[in-house]
Structure 1
Amino acid sequence: MRYRLDVVAATVADAVQFAGGWLFDRSVAGWEVTVLLAQPSDIRPLKILGAEVRELDSVLATEVPGRLPQALAVNADVCSRDGRARKGVLRALEDRGIEVVVWGDGWPAGQDHGVDPVLHRLSCAARAFKAQALVAAGLSAAAVTPSEIFRSGATEYAPVCADLVPAV
């Protein structure tokens, strides 16, 4: 059985730009990476990173028993706009058995829930594949940096966030 990472993003470009290197690193480490989008468009950039794409509304509408991921990544702005997504993220944070990673500035005020800043250092391959995915998404490959910054509600139960190092 493979570890699962579900990613909730506003757009394909959003996922690639802010979490693309981390998604790639998880994918090549054997994780099943699925990006959930409200309106999937050209998914080629996410395919470059090794991710599958599903439509967010259909996933939220059909809760499949036992389909909980080991990790959940989400754009904070999606949580502030979509009550269903916010509820799911808060439930995952309270569960403490799921690693939760958030990027962006839209995290609702007063919703800390043990979410601390973390830094993911991208592998050389992740930087190369992220650059190609950015170009495919119509963005500049110059945006690739050696690391990506998130806020994380990492669990105390499983070492699934071993590649995340506390930001200094």
Structure 2
Amino acid sequence: MRYRLDVVAPTVLSAVTYAGGWIYDRSMAGWDVTVLVDDDADRLPLQILGAETLSLESVLTDWADRPHPQTVAVAADLLDRDPRVLEHVRVALEQGATEVTLWGEERLSAELDCRVDGVRHHLSGAARAFKARALAAAGARDVHVGPIETFRCGMMVSVAADLVPAS
């Protein structure tokens, strides 16, 4: 059985910018990584990182039929924009069987904020190189890829131990 990571993002560029290195590193570690996006942008940047893509709308419609991922990563701005995404995050946090990881600068509701802690992922050298290539393919300008991506996570112990407390 392979581990599964579902990444929920409003755009391809958002997923690559905030989680591209982590997506790459998990994909190279043998995880099945799927990015669920709203937009119809070119999927090449996600393919560079080793991820598959699906329409977010189609997955939200058939969520109950989708295999259960070990980790779900969500752009925090989607929690305010789509109540279905917020509800799935709440359920995952309550059940505790899925690592819930959020990214973005958006303020979380008090209900969610008290259930997540800051974590970071140290990108491998290859992840930095592939993320830079993916950002360029997505049309990002002045691409600089740092060594760390930061998140907020609902489980302090990562399934793969690649997320560490940010304190």
TM range (shorter): over 0.9
- CA offsets 1:79-127 (integer angstroms, 9 cap, x no match): 1110000100111111111111100122432122520000100000100
Report 1:133-144 matches (<5 A): 133-140=134-141, 142-144=143-145
- Give the % identical residues: 53
Alignment match, 2:40: 40
Normalising by structure 1, what TM-score? 0.93
Q: Quick check: 1:100 aligned with 2:106?
A: no
2:140 aligned counterpart, secondary structure:
coil
Relative distance call for 1:67 and 1:98 in structure 2 (3 A) is same
Q: Quick check: 1:162 aligned with 2:161?
A: yes
Deviates more, 1:105-114 or 1:94-103: 105-114
Contact 1:119–1:147 at 8 Å: present in 2 too? yes
Contact 1:27–1:50 at 8 Å: present in 2 too? yes
Q: Quick check: 1:123 aligned with 2:129?
A: no
Q: Distance in 2 between matches of 1:69 and 1:155?
A: 17
Contact 2:118–2:166 at 8 Å: present in 1 too? yes
Q: Distance in 1 between matches of 2:142 and 2:28?
A: 21
2:67 aligned counterpart, secondary structure:
coil
Contact 2:59–2:66 at 8 Å: present in 1 too? no
Relative distance call for 1:121 and 1:70 in structure 2 (3 A) is same
Consecutive aligned runs of 4 or more in structure 1 exceeding 4 Å deviation:
none
Contact 2:156–2:165 at 8 Å: present in 1 too? no
Query: Across the two proteins, how many residue pairs are aligned to each other?
Result: 166
2:13 aligned counterpart, secondary structure:
helix
Relative distance call for 1:113 and 1:68 in structure 2 (3 A) is farther
Relative distance call for 1:95 and 1:40 in structure 2 (3 A) is farther
Structure 2 residues not aligned, in runs of 5+: none
Query: What is the CA-CA distance between 1:155 and the residue it aligns to?
Result: 6.2
Q: Distance in 2 between matches of 1:141 and 1:152?
A: 29
Q: Distance in 1 between matches of 2:137 and 2:100?
A: 27
Contact 1:99–1:161 at 8 Å: present in 2 too? no
Deviates more, 1:27-36 or 1:107-116: 107-116
Alignment match, 2:148: 147
Query: What is the CA-CA distance between 1:63 and the residue it aligns to?
Result: 2.7
